[in-house]
Structure 1
Amino acid sequence: MSNPEIAQSVLAAGIRTNVHDLGSGPPVLMIHGSGPGVTAWANWRLAMPVLARQARVIAPDMVGFGYTERPAGQRYDMDTWVAQAIGVLDALDVEQTDLVGNSFGGALALALTIRHPQRVRRLVLMGSVGVPFAITPGLDAVWGYAPSLARMRELLDIFAYDRNLVTDELAQLRYEASIRPGFQESFAAMFPAPRQRWVDAMTSNESDIRRIAHETLVLHGREDRVIPLSTSLTLSNWIPRAQLHVFGQCGHWTQIEHAARFAQLVGNFLSEAGADEPKRLNG
């Protein structure tokens, strides 16, 4: 049986990258979070087919995650991930894209927008890292994950507000995903303790964030125990053209716990008439 998590392979900044590319229309690049065993498909599987009705959805596995190659001696840092994301756009001949980032992917989306503003049209940040905050016990547990079925079950309970989502089957699937060859080795290498430094390393400068000229949608689950709601409040205050939507009765899995509302909200935001867009940011 084919694995839906494996899609096409492109060479992005020298890294053989697993990329989902579906639908047609204005491109939207979707960047996943940093949970153990995560893939782009696992993160965006409910949103991708809905958004693909109106857009070209591009969702890569970032290096260190999923089915993208893990080169020996690979550095895992924001410079690497931003270069890889730009490499994906270049490989697929995408000049400018809408950009959706989840958690870790939000920090990456922020950094990419700051460094390459002309490559981004609109920005969506969901449960995003990228501004200063004290690491939560939830995030420390996620990044400190050591493989076991019991630990995975505990993490899923942290991620989700609705415990009915956390079935034994899901825990088994995510546990098995986390122990695929190479997955845990790269994951453990990325976020060794003390882990506050990795939160700090993903932070963009306040002055740079305040200069973001793009229309931005900031999303967060009110009961998020992994990334505090305060990060999205900060982002919505700092980004001049930001709007904020907070989902009640929702943890860190906005795109799963409120899948239909998430897809509708993002789809509406990205398809709004562009008369209010800033003049093309590359001059």
Structure 2
Amino acid sequence: MRRRDFLATCTAAAGAAALAVVRAGQCAQGATSEVAKYAAWRRFADTPFGRVAYVEQGTGPAALFLHGFPLNGFHWRGSLERLAPHRRCIAPDFMGLGYTEVPDQQDLSPQAQADMLVALLDRLQVSSVDLVANDSGGTIAQLFVARHPARVRTMLLTNCDVHENCPPPQMRNSINAAKAGTYDQKMQRHLDDPVYARSEKGIFGSAYMTPANVADAAIEYYFNPLVASPRRKAQLNRYLAELESNPLLAIEPALRRLKTPTRMLWGTADPLFPITWANWLDQALPGSRGVRRVEGGKLFWPEELPEVVADEARALWRV
């Protein structure tokens, strides 16, 4: 290679590397700004269960967004932004997760979480909602609508626990660690090593389609509160341990009577919740509006494709 060509190649490579660094910095800066904006929106509602953290955007009829484990309401930020022109969008953090504050011995079971939602909605003077849920939030959504069908106008379910697949068998080791009081150590490892968090063995690497796009600031916003104190570590473990007992089998008769318009949006690349369970809901729910396949979608795809959630929500809500 001629010296001039060699120098040109080196210059181009250096320029590309510098551009990559700049773009990475811009991405990280953008994520930090996004986290800061969401944190500034955070409010607290005093309930009999404790201080429930939530974010609220928009006006009009209410929509309630239920996140999965071990995330918090930040998961729905893109959907809230797109749907706030049509709904009063409320995204709470469940007890034992996120920034909600509850007493040491508060019941953290899915049934108690559903009861907490009732108290939260009463506190916010909300009589009925459109439900949107993901992962273990889907368990709580089904419990909520089975107990309070008159308070749910529509339900949009993404990959989540269904019937006998609650919890999925792949969660056994994690639940055992939680019962032993050690699952919080996994959260700490994610915080200490974001590269691990985005690897195939990490939560973001296994549950996101493009884990490289999950910024360090987002990982910190999700997991910092979970290990912030001995109390929070214990509550994290208890939340997960409480998922061992399946509460959905008992409400099957109520679900089979449910006429609430319901739509399933299901990622096809999620080993925890195969699309066969979306089809089970489609057959079981009298109010089903069918299943939309999200090709390549993993468990937490709604965070990555909020436009899909928003499009389907608007169609279900007919707005």
* TM-score of Structure 1 vs Structure 2, range by shorter chain: 0.7 to 0.9
5 Å matches for 1:157-196?
157-166=205-214, 171=219, 174-176=222-224, 178-181=226-229, 182-192=231-241
> How many correspondences in the alignment?
266
- Output the amino acid matched with 2:38: P
- C-alpha separation in 2, matches of 1:60 and 1:171: 18
Structure 1 residues 172 and 140: alpha-carbon distance in aligned structure 2, compared to 1, 3 A threshold: farther
Matched, 1:255 2:302: yes
Determine if the alignment matches structure 1 residue 88 to structure 2 residue 88.
no
Percent identity reads 22
Alignment of 1:89-168 (within 5 A): 89-133=121-165, 135-136=167-168, 139-140=171-172, 144=177, 145=183, 146=186, 147-149=188-190, 150=193, 152-153=197-198, 154-166=202-214
Extract unaligned runs of 5+ from structure 1. 273-283
| Residue 39 (structure 1) aligned to one of 68, 72, 83 | 72
In structure 2, relative to structure 1, the CA distance for the partners of 1:157 and 1:133 (3 Å cut) is: same
> Partner residue of 2:89?
57
CA 1:253–1:131: 2 relative to 1, 3 Å: same
**2: CA distance, partners of 1:138 / 1:168:** 26
Give the CA deviation at 1:202.
4.8
Give the Cα separation in 1 of the matches to 2:61 and 2:68: 23
SS at match of 1:95: coil
- Does the 8 A contact of 2:62 with 2:126 survive in 1? yes
Cα drift, residue 79 of structure 1: 2.6
The residue aligned with 2:273 is 227
Contact 1:250–1:257 (CA under 8 A) maintained in structure 2: no
- When structure 1 is superposed on structure 2, of 208-217 and 6-15 the one drifting more is 6-15
- Cα–Cα, structure 1 residues 21 and 134, in superposed 2: closer, same or farther, change >3 Å? closer
Is 2:98–2:222's contact at 8 Å kept on the other side of the alignment? no
Cα distance, 1:105 vs. partner?
0.9
Tell me the CA shift for residue 233 of structure 1: 1.5
How far off its partner does 1:127 sit? 0.8
Query: Is 1:4 aligned to 2:38, yes or no?
Result: yes
TM-score (norm 2): 0.75
Is this contact kept in 1: 2:60–2:86, CA < 8 A? yes
Aligned CA-pair RMSD? 2.6
AA partner of residue 91 (structure 2): A
User: More deviation in 113-122 or 258-267?
Assistant: 258-267
Partner SS, residue 44 of structure 2: strand
**AA at the equivalent of 1:244:** V
One-letter identity of the residue aligned with 1:184: K
Q: Does 1:212 align with 2:265?
A: no
Question: Unaligned 5+ residue runs, structure 2?
Answer: 1-32, 178-182
Within 2, Cα distance between the matches of 1:170 and 1:60? 17
Query: What SS is found at the alignment partner of 2:160?
Result: coil
Counterparts of 2:291 and 2:114, CA distance in 1: 25
CA positional deviation for 1:39: 1.6
* Matched AA of 1:103: D
SS of residue paired to 1:62:
coil
**In structure 1, C-alpha distance between the alignment counterparts of 2:224 and 2:49, rounded to whole Å:** 28
CA gap of 1:94–1:133, structure 2 versus 1, over 3 A, is same
Residue 267 of structure 1 pairs with residue 314 of structure 2: yes
- Provide runs of 4+ in structure 1 moved above 6 Å: none
**Could you tell me which amino acid in structure 1 is paired with residue 239 of structure 2?**
M
Q: Which is richer in helix?
A: 2
Which amino acid in structure 2 is aligned with residue 246 of structure 1?
R
2:58 aligns to what? 23
Distance 2:87 2:237 in 1: 35
Alpha carbons 1:131, 1:204 under 8 Å: kept: no
Letter of the 2:284 partner, please give it: W
Q: Quick one: distance in 2 between partners of 1:65 and 1:174?
A: 9
**Structure 1 residue 250 displacement after superposition:** 1.0
Shift of 1:75: 1.3
CA contact (8 A) 1:100 1:124 kept: yes
Amino acid at match of 1:162: T
